[in-house]
Structure 1
């Protein structure tokens, strides 16, 4: 009998020792018959199921051009192949082509949607959370960024249901360092931008003109900024925003500084903050016995590592220059108690952003209607 395992719940060392002929599958949506999947792959001993892409195809919550979706998926599959895996597939609904050839496995059903966008929600801010599937050192799984930003986004929508609605979290983003440690995927910067610009286009065309793109992964940030820039030109009557991660504004940073135990350099990646959040949200996926603190980042006055990256310089040196295990920071200082405090602070920060997006949209709309020039 085939064993199905969740790829994104592994650590990077666990991915590193997987047989390279293990089938790895990225589904479009969820709810497929996994028995049929195993049969279609020849009933192998095990199959790695990656987190589902929640929208983008015809008939899904948000439809985008198939060529854009294909480019996004193809890059994800290619990053798995670059990791040495020889059997990588997309599991898609029957009737879709997508130009993936033998990499596509089709099942004759329509994946259920957990969220619906209705005309009555057009006056709300649509939250678009984007995580990632990437290495998080020895003690955390690949899904940290997705778990954390999903909790922040869903918590925000729950806190102000009359002001915001949340799309399902996207578990894939951009990692320019994906070759350094096993397990990390990469949608590619340009394909990622094309995908989210198409998502924005689709939402605005349906009358949703207040959008907030939230990222749980630092590598997504510059590309989401580009999306917002392009979208602002395309849709001048909409207000489309993003921000650097979470707990990054004055309100959030104050919450970090009040409770953190680490010094500067202790919060970067698989660090005190992310480990604390995971201890609160998914303690079953954290192995504190494997934490290795890594704070020997090559720091200079204008280039150093912490949660809110400091200094005037922007660069992208190899990760392995600064970390042996994939961590940046002091994960050993993490606590579930602080994870709860910081999650609540992150939600409060995003709630304030939602209110500000509404204000910006309404005041700009009123100014345009007044004939102001």
Structure 2
């Protein structure tokens, strides 16, 4: 893959090397510089030396100097987005084997891209079975198991579970697009209806089954993804939470989220667990897309007009509009084509480099921050409406159950 990446990059985009600084008073121990992996675009990741250390933290608190010392004071270290919960003491723990599989698959994604020094940074007392790929965060001791990420007082609300991803978005956008957007929508929804919804911290990793074409995209793995999130529902349902809304910023998560809500509903018969196709895609969102979009069908597939507009509004510092390459030459047929709201009855997963040279599907050049603001408002309105609907579904179903409707009247 790396050979193909290098050929694709030649003459298209300059990959600027990172600079590192050294401590002039202690030349034997150079100062280590840190960079956020998810702030890069995929060509920048493709241009990194394959031996640069990349670290995936559990939790966001760590001593950078201590980390540099553990790795022998390299000139630079890449820090991946932190996993917000899942381990003992994080406030929302799943069985350790489920978290270990999730993390292992993410590290393997980096190895598949040729990186040779990849690590998980974990609190002391956590053993994910990663061997030398697991570093200990001595600053981050395990919190008491009495600590909870979500208070029991939030029972009766819809628990919003936002999941983004760390994935290539063409030449002009950072890897964090899906996470930035769905986090803003989830926080906005919880802020719009605080008495009805509570948002968990965003998870920045999902599933990608199309990694071979372009560098930098990670993959938690479909089975590990499903098992982990079912574990989250199990933990919260056991505590009395009974309404859940999985919100995804990444299309690759969707088929697996459908499986999760189906298994969760069968496993916990008194909950209402739902998901929806991405965001800005339902009744309210679709109307807003049609009202403000400038591109024809095909202009919003991936890193196109929609996602670029969102990022210009939310994180303009992560947008490089001088690098935008519009690509709309998707191999389209009546029942298989690419846009934000996909159409047709066919579902497939051909190689991405059949349809895009840069990793983008769409017309990012037509994006504006104002459209991003308008679409964010529409997405929040849509998700708030979904929250109300989830409450109604749960209430009406509980009324039937309590009344002994159908088989519920036979002791089920």
Give the TM-score band, short-chain normalised.
Answer: over 0.9
In the alignment, what sits opposite 1:17? Answer: 47
Cα deviation, 1:120-158, whole Å, max 9, x if unaligned, reads 110111000000000000000000000000000000001
In the alignment, what sits opposite 2:152? Answer: 119
Separation of aligned partners in 2, 1:158 and 1:58: 28
The answer as to 2:168 corresponding to 1:135 is yes
Separation of aligned partners in 2, 1:98 and 1:132: 22
In the alignment, what sits opposite 1:216? Answer: 249
Q: How does 1:35-46 map to 2 (within 5 A)?
A: 35-46=65-76
Separation of aligned partners in 1, 2:326 and 2:150: 43
Kindly indicate whether the alpha-carbon contact (under 8 Å) linking 1:4 and 1:48 is maintained by their aligned counterparts in 2: yes
In the alignment, what sits opposite 2:113? Answer: 83
Separation of aligned partners in 1, 2:50 and 2:128: 25
Q: Is the radius of gyration larger for structure 1 or structure 2?
A: 2
In the alignment, what sits opposite 1:188? Answer: 221
Kindly indicate whether the alpha-carbon contact (under 8 Å) linking 1:75 and 1:187 is maintained by their aligned counterparts in 2: yes
Offset of residue 241 of structure 1: 0.3
Structure 2 residue corresponding to 1:146, chosen from 163, 166, 179? 179
In the alignment, what sits opposite 1:273? Answer: 306
Structure 1 residues 290 and 191, CA gap change in structure 2 (3 angstroms): same
Kindly indicate whether the alpha-carbon contact (under 8 Å) linking 1:29 and 1:111 is maintained by their aligned counterparts in 2: no
The answer as to 2:195 corresponding to 1:169 is no
Structure 2 residue corresponding to 1:27, chosen from 46, 53, 57? 57
Unpaired runs of at least 5, structure 1: none
The answer as to 2:122 corresponding to 1:73 is no
Separation of aligned partners in 2, 1:137 and 1:219: 16
Structure 1 residues 363 and 71, CA gap change in structure 2 (3 angstroms): same
Kindly indicate whether the alpha-carbon contact (under 8 Å) linking 1:252 and 1:346 is maintained by their aligned counterparts in 2: yes
Offset of residue 250 of structure 1: 1.4
In the alignment, what sits opposite 2:230? Answer: 197
Q: How does 1:289-368 map to 2 (within 5 A)?
A: 289-368=322-401
Kindly indicate whether the alpha-carbon contact (under 8 Å) linking 2:173 and 2:308 is maintained by their aligned counterparts in 1: yes
Kindly indicate whether the alpha-carbon contact (under 8 Å) linking 1:129 and 1:215 is maintained by their aligned counterparts in 2: yes
Name the stretch that deviates more: 136-145 or 246-255.
246-255
| Partner-residue secondary structure (3-state), 2:301 | strand
Unpaired runs of at least 5, structure 2: 1-30, 407-412
In the alignment, what sits opposite 2:124? Answer: 94
TM, length-normalised to structure 2: 0.89
Separation of aligned partners in 2, 1:179 and 1:50: 20
In the alignment, what sits opposite 1:63? Answer: 93
Offset of residue 228 of structure 1: 0.5
| Partner-residue secondary structure (3-state), 2:377 | helix
Kindly indicate whether the alpha-carbon contact (under 8 Å) linking 1:31 and 1:112 is maintained by their aligned counterparts in 2: no
Kindly indicate whether the alpha-carbon contact (under 8 Å) linking 1:30 and 1:111 is maintained by their aligned counterparts in 2: no
Separation of aligned partners in 1, 2:74 and 2:143: 27
| Partner-residue secondary structure (3-state), 1:26 | strand
Separation of aligned partners in 2, 1:296 and 1:281: 28
Cα deviation, 1:288-310, whole Å, max 9, x if unaligned, reads 11000000000000000010110
In the alignment, what sits opposite 2:192? Answer: 159
| Partner-residue secondary structure (3-state), 2:180 | helix
In the alignment, what sits opposite 2:291? Answer: 258
Separation of aligned partners in 1, 2:192 and 2:102: 32
CA RMSD of aligned residues (A): 1.3
Offset of residue 98 of structure 1: 1.3
Offset of residue 61 of structure 1: 2.3
Separation of aligned partners in 2, 1:86 and 1:371: 60
Cα deviation, 1:293-331, whole Å, max 9, x if unaligned, reads 000000000000010110000111110000000000000
Offset of residue 110 of structure 1: 3.5
In the alignment, what sits opposite 2:38? Answer: 8
| Partner-residue secondary structure (3-state), 1:329 | coil
